[in-house]
Amino acid sequence: MKTILQTKGLCKTYVVNKRQNNVLRNIDLTVKEGEMVAVMGPSGSGKSTLLYCVSGMDRVTSGEVDFDGRDITKLSDKELSKIRLDKMGFIFQQMYMMKNLTILDNIILPAVRSGKITESRAQTAQRGRTLMRRLGIDDTADNDINEVSGGQLQRACICRSMINEPEMIFADEPTGALNRSSSDEVMNELLSLNRDGTTVMCVTHDPKVASKCSRVIYIVDGGIMGELELGTFDGTPATLREREKSLSGWLMEQGW
């Protein structure tokens, strides 16, 4: 299986009030194409910082970050922006969308800006509607962002993350602001995208979310303390219970 993301000696340091804060320490990480990787750890352990660094949203202090065969730490801001727009998709806990645009227009905006896929505006809109139909929110296409539920808005964010057909999706607490029902719906959609071949890295504090991923990475004080291979989730309740039990025991061993 091809490696899509690899880090070597990744370090991230912030200086606040002349004091050095080593948020990430010598992270060596490999993600294969088609994996669904969860990143867990205590608050302040560096989970989100890791996601931002490996996706090029934040610059590393030292080390290498190889994405799809290119060391993105050596790219210019313009080159990084192009890779994020064309090859990556992003989902966040806070569902950032343009207030002056409809749900559909928010979804297709990255495609309009990118030009990665050569097509007319009408064809782009049709692809957006197709994604919305797949996620069960096609009836909200012309709504404003304040006219839909949190679960619908997060599914719209998933549609937006997929509009440029990315090679990898980075999700930072994508279910953190949702109730359990909406959380399950969003995770089911991410699982569906992953089964279709999209690689996913998901930062989460929720063991129920992590138990559906194929691998769990545990970070403490900026370093990877352990990894748990769970394998591909088959979607059955019985398997999910076993995975949750296995993950819970492992997390306790890690000091969760």
Q: Length of the chain in residues, anyone? A: 256
> Is the per-residue pLDDT at 114 higher than 90?
no
How confident is the model at residue 177, as a pLDDT?
Answer: 77
- Among 136, 168, 162, smallest CA distance to 151 is for 136
Domains of the chain: which residue ranges? 3-96+170-254
- Among 158, 76, 74, 73, smallest CA distance to 110 is for 158
Q: Does the CA dihedral 207-198-35-113 come out positive or negative?
A: negative
Q: Does the CA dihedral 196-202-208-212 come out positive or negative?
A: positive
Q: What single DSSP character describes residue 93?
A: S
Which distant-in-sequence residues (6+ apart) come within 8 Å of 252 by Cβ? none
How confident is the model at residue 92, as a pLDDT?
Answer: 87
Average pLDDT, the chain: 92
Read off the pLDDT of residues 18-75 as tens digits, 9 standing for 90 and up.
Answer: 788 889 999 999 999 999 999 999 998 999 999 999 999 999 999 999 999 999 999 9
CATH of the domain spanning 3-96+170-254 = 3.40.50.300
Read off the pLDDT of residues 152-170 as tens digits, 9 standing for 90 and up.
Answer: 998 899 999 999 999 999 9
What would the DSSP string read from start to end of 199-216? EEEEE-S-HHHHTTSSEE
Mean pLDDT of 113-142: 90
Percent of the chain with pLDDT strictly greater than 90: 77
